Amino acid sequence: MQLVIVESPAKAKTIEKYLGKDFKVLASYGHVRDLPPKDGSVRPDEDFAMDWELYRDKQKRFKEISDAAKDADRLVLATDPDREGEAISWHVQELLRKRKNLPAKVDRVTFNAITKSAVTEAMKSPRELDQPLIDAYLARRALDYLFGFTLSPVLWRKLPGAKSAGRVQSVALRLIVDREREIEAFRADEYWSVLAKLQHDGTAFDARLVRYKGEKLEKLSLGNEGAAMEAKAAVEAGRFTVEGVETKPLKRNPAPPFTTSTMQQEASRKLGFSASHTMRLAQSLYEAGAITYMRTDGVQMDMSAIMAARDAISERFSDDYRPEKPRFYSTKAKNAQEAHEAIRPTNFSRDKVGSGDEAKLYSLIFKRAMASQMAAAQLERTTVTLREATGQHELRANGQVVKFPGFFAVYQEGFDDKSDDDEDGLLPAMKDGDVPAKNEVEANQHFTQPPPRFSEASLVKRLEELGIGRPSTYASTIQTVRDRDYVRMEKSRFHAEESGRLLTAFLERFFPTYVAYDFTAGMEEELDVVSDGREEYKTLLAKFWKDFKPKTEEVMEKLPSEVTEVLDEYLSDYLFPPREDGKDARFCPLCEQEGREGGKLNLRGGRFGAFVACQNYPECKYTRRFAQPGADGEDPAEDGLMGTHPETGAEIHRKSGRFGPYVEMEVDEKKQRASIPKDLDDFDLEWAIKLLDLPRIVGAHPETGKEIEAAIGRYGPYLRHDGKYAKLQSTRDVFDTGMNAAVTMLAEAANRKGGSRGKAEPIKTLGEHPTSGGEIKVMPGRYGPYVTDGTVNATIPKDVKPEDIEAAQAIELIDARAAKGPAKKKGKKAPAKKKAPAKKTAAKKKPAAKKAAPAK
pLDDT at position 415: 64
d(CA 83, CA 89): 10
pLDDT at position 761: 62
Contact 210, 392 (CB under 8 A): no
Q: What is the pLDDT of residues 646-655, one digit of tens each?
A: 888 888 888 8
pLDDT at position 837: 45
Question: What single string gives the DSSP state of each residue in 783-815?
Answer: TS-EEESSS-EEEPPTTS-GGG--HHHHHHHHH
d(CA 810, CA 710): 35
d(CA 167, CA 208): 50
d(CA 507, CA 192): 42
Contact 457, 258 (CB under 8 A): no
Residues 6 or more apart from 234 whose CB is under 8 A from it? Answer: 212, 213, 393
- In angstroms, the Cα distances linking 302 to 113, 376, 488, 625 are 11, 21, 41, 57
Q: What is the pLDDT of residues 515-565, one digit of tens each?
A: 899 998 888 889 888 988 889 999 999 999 999 999 999 999 988 888 888
User: Strands, E, within 103-182: which ranges?
Assistant: 105-108
Positive or negative, the Cα torsion across 610, 612, 615, 616? negative
DSSP β-bridge partners for residue 660:
657
Contact 746, 755 (CB under 8 A): no
Contact 427, 395 (CB under 8 A): no
Q: How many residues does the chain have?
A: 856
Positive or negative, the Cα torsion across 736, 740, 744, 746? positive
DSSP β-bridge partners for residue 380:
249, 401
Number of H helices and E strands in the chain, helices first, is 26, 32
Q: Which of 212, 293, 362, 537 is catalytic?
A: 293
**Amino acid type, 743:** V
DSSP β-bridge partners for residue 248:
381
3-state secondary structure of 538: helix
- CB neighbour burial string for 742-772, b if at least 16 within 10 angstroms, e if fewer: bbbbbebbeeeeeeeeeeeebbbebbebeeb
Q: In degrees, to the nearest 5, what angle opens at C-alpha 721 toward C-alphas 717 and 725?
A: 45
For the whole model, what pTM was predicted? 0.68
Burial class (CB in 10 A: 0-12, 13-18, 19+), 206: middle
Give the mean pLDDT of the chain: 84
Contact 640, 654 (CB under 8 A): yes
Positive or negative, the Cα torsion across 55, 59, 64, 70? positive
Q: Which residues of the chain have pLDDT under 50?
A: 334-338, 420-422, 630-637, 754-759, 822-856
d(CA 741, CA 7): 13
Catalytic residue check, 622: no
- Of 200, 268, 203, nearest in space to 240 by CA: 200
d(CA 381, CA 249): 6
- The H-or-E segment that residue 366 falls in is helix 356-371
**Amino acid type, 693:** D
pLDDT at position 291: 92
